[in-house]
Chain A
Amino acid sequence: MAVSTTVLGFAMALYLAVVVYLTWYGYKRTLRAEDYMVCGRRISSYVLAISYGATFISTSAIVGFGGVAGLLGMGLLWLTFLNIFVGIFIAFALFGPRTRKMGKNLGAMSFPELLGKRFNSRFIQAFSGAVIFLFMPLYAGIVIIGAARFLEVTLSVDYNLALLVFVIIIAAYVVVGGLITVMYTDAFQGTIMFVSMLILLVLTYAKLGGVTEAHQALTAMSNLVPESLSAGGMTGWTSFPVFGSPIWWTLVSTLILGVGIGVLAQPQLAVRFITARSSSSLYRAMLVGGVFIFMMTGVAFLVGALSNVYFYQNYGKIAVEMAGGNIDLIIPTYINDAMPDFFVVIFMLTLIAAAMSTLSSQFHVMGTSLGYDFYKGIVSKFRQEKTVLLTRIGIVITITVSVILAYILPISIIARATAIFFGLCAAAFLPMYIGALFWKRMTRAGAIAGLVSGTILSLFWLVFVHVKESSALGICEFLFGKPSLLSGTWQFVDPILVAFPIAFVISVVVSLLTNPPDEEHLEKCFKGV
């Protein structure tokens, strides 16, 4: 992106000054473990809504998925619908208030601890913590790489230097200020993201002659769909792919359902509910949350698809051709070419803010899962006063692992990290999480059966069947001489559609076959729920 380094440097300095202030603010307000882990359970609705949204939306949601919309069109808006309906409405209206109250009743300071205490099981807390700190560094790795590559290009600095400085800045404010700093910086970063995406939406439609005109121009381009994509089922940028075609399956199972439903069991998002001051602050957060998510993914998908119109009208090429075949470059190329200079600076800050807000929450939850959940689950005597120190050590260890993974793993594997982590969380945690909140008859054995079977099934499907991950990992090829054990449509079906329902059924069946949980404990869990 061609923009004055001086202007960008000044904007960055201002941005970092606010982050430093919020780090100090978080540090001053952290007086006990509960402050460091769950913000003392007194976060307001605006900070909660924007922090949730900014954590949810990383740079890859804007640039990566926006690029996918540039390639495949507006069918991705179904994901935005699910992001709002499931990620905000279902999450905040149904899951949020129960999670908050149960977390308060049980004194839980993390998502794994909530599940562990609900089912009276240290194994559940330790195993859930292990799933998070073993697999989340992969997800953090891809966000780190994306941010470092972006800084390398925009600031013309060395990739390694960009990566290390970026990680050290985030690590410093997470370790020092805990979740209070994380959530307040999220709210600051999310506000920048919101304003930026609103400007992008308005400028794009203004440039293309209005909403209806822009969409009609894109519809008229359906004859320009590349041969390889139309063979896969694509019919145009404003129409859905052919039912049952490979592109249809990719769009419906992985992008729409995988990410759309997977959001409910993301530990870094679920812990947000525990931080809320009251149920009304959760409900109030919905007003901002729904619009925020639309402004992020909805705008990215609309603009990504409409970039085809801009490029065709000005250069006679479609978006993916303008980006040289790399869909991750569609949005940056469009911003640089179509938008005024002042906006290019704002958008750069937006991408940095999106990466930082997602990473800071990942770092915090990885640290708590190792230094608190896993450690607490495996030692016989846990000293509560050591919580903050152990969590800080956990954060430093897991950040180091994330950086090492970002360096040593091939990009083909790490590019699938988001899908892997979302799919794994949905299968491992969601059956147990739903049971914990909504079904008193779910037993400890049922919860453990769902957790373990969901984890194993999800990993099996990722390694041996779902061809996007199995071919990247190469284990199936090494053992059986082919990239996937199954053929045809099964290769494109996301693990969430297989592992989650099976794990859910296993949870229910095992619960019904075992003795009901203790009434007194249930009364404590569900007090006021």
Chain B
Amino acid sequence: MLFGIEDPYVWSALVLCILSMILCAIYGALRWNYDD
């Protein structure tokens, strides 16, 4: 059970959404001043 959702096939999707947003943010921040 996570966020009040019992089915791991559903709450894992919500977790992956949050993780992928964080991944995008970290990757973008690390390459903020990327020099072509």
Cβ 8 A contact of A74, one of B5, B16, B23: B5
Interface residues of A in 201-230 (CB under 8 A from B): 211-216, 219
| A80-B17, A280-B32 known; A286-B25 Cβ under 8 A | yes
Are A280 and B27 neighbours in the complex by a CB distance under 8 Å? no
CB <8 Å contact, B4 and A289: no
CA distance A101 to B36 in the complex (A): 9
Distance in angstroms between the alpha carbons of A88 and B21 in the assembled complex = 9
B24 partner, pick from A84, A101, A236, A239, beta carbons under 8 A: A84
Contact present for A75 and B13 (CB under 8 Å): yes
A85, A239, A280: the one contacting B34 at CB < 8 Å is A280
B13, A80: Cβ atoms closer than 8 Å: yes
Closest to A285 in B: B28
The answer to whether A289 touches B32, judged by C-beta atoms less than 8 angstroms apart, is no
In the bound complex, residues from chain A placing their C-beta under 8 Å from that of B9 are 75, 239-240
Contact status B20-A287, CB under 8 Å: no
Q: Quick check: B4 and A287 within 8 Å, CB to CB?
A: no
- Inter-subunit contact A75/B10 (CB<8 Å): yes
Interface residues on B, range: 20 to 34
Mask, A279-307, CB within 8 Å of B = 1, is: 11001111101110010001000000000
Would A290 and B21 count as touching, CB distance under 8 A?
yes
8 Å CB contacts to A: which residues of B1-36? 3-7, 9-10, 13-14, 16-17, 20-21, 23-25, 27-29, 31-36
The reply to whether A85 and B27 contact each other, CB–CB distance below 8 Å, is no
* A216 in contact with B21 (CB, 8 Å): no
A404 nearest CB across to chain B (Å): 40
**Total interface residues on A, using CB and 8 Å?**
39
Distance from A366 Cβ to chain B, minimum over Cβ atoms (Å): 30
Assess the B36–A238 pair: CB atoms within 8 A: no
- Rounded to whole angstroms, the CA-CA distance of A294 and B17 in the bound complex is 7
Q: Are B24 and A77 in contact (CB under 8 A)?
A: no
Q: Which of A70-114 contact B (CB under 8 A)?
A: 73-75, 77-78, 80-81, 84-85, 88-89, 92-93, 101
Chain B min CB distance to A236 (Å): 8
Does A278 belong to the interface (CB within 8 Å)? yes
Most buried by B among A278, A279, A280, A528: A280
Residue of A nearest to B31 (CB): A283
Beta-carbon contact of A238 and B5 below 8 Å: yes
Q: A212-B3, A213-B4, A240-B10 are in contact. Are A283 and B32 (CB under 8 A)?
A: yes
CB distance from B17 to the nearest CB of A (A): 5
A80-B20 Cα distance, complex, nearest whole Å: 10
**Interchain CB contact (< 8 A) of A287 among B3, B29, B33:** B29
Residue contact B27 to A84, C-beta cutoff 8 Å: no
CB-based contact A84/B5 at 8 Å: no
Decide: A280 near B31, CB < 8 A? Known: A75-B10, A298-B17. yes
Find chain B residues with CB under 8 A from A212 CB.
Answer: 3-4
- A286 with B14, Cβ < 8 A, contacts A89-B20, A211-B3 known: no
- Whole-angstrom distance between the Cβ of B10 and the nearest chain A Cβ: 5
Q: Are B21 and A291 in contact (CB under 8 A)?
A: yes
Give the residues in chain A near B4, CB-CB below 8 Å.
211-216, 219, 238
How far, in whole Å, are A528 and B17 apart by their CA atoms in the complex? 33
Bound complex: CA A285 to CA B34 (Å): 13
Q: Report yes or no: B21 in contact with A239, Cβ–Cβ below 8 A.
A: no
Expressed in whole angstroms, the minimum distance between the Cβ of B14 and any Cβ of chain A is 6
Most buried by A among B17, B35, B36: B17
B7 and A240 within 8 A (CB): yes
| Complex contact A77–B10 (CB within 8 A) | yes
Chain B residues with CB below 8 A from A219, complex form: 4-6
Q: Which 5 A-B pairs give the minimum distances between C-beta atoms?
A: A215-B4, A290-B24, A286-B28, A212-B4, A283-B31
* Given A238-B4, A290-B21: 20 more A-B contacts, CB < 8 Å: A73-B10, A74-B10, A74-B14, A75-B13, A84-B20, A85-B23, A88-B20, A211-B4, A212-B4, A215-B3, A219-B6, A238-B7, A239-B10, A240-B10, A280-B31, A284-B28, A286-B24, A287-B29, A290-B20, A290-B24
**Chain B interface (Cβ < 8 Å from any Cβ of A):** 3-7, 9-10, 13-14, 16-17, 20-21, 23-25, 27-29, 31-36
What residues of chain A have their CB less than 8 Å away from a CB belonging to chain B?
73-75, 77-78, 80-81, 84-85, 88-89, 92-93, 101, 211-216, 219, 236, 238-240, 278-280, 283-287, 289-291, 294, 298, 528
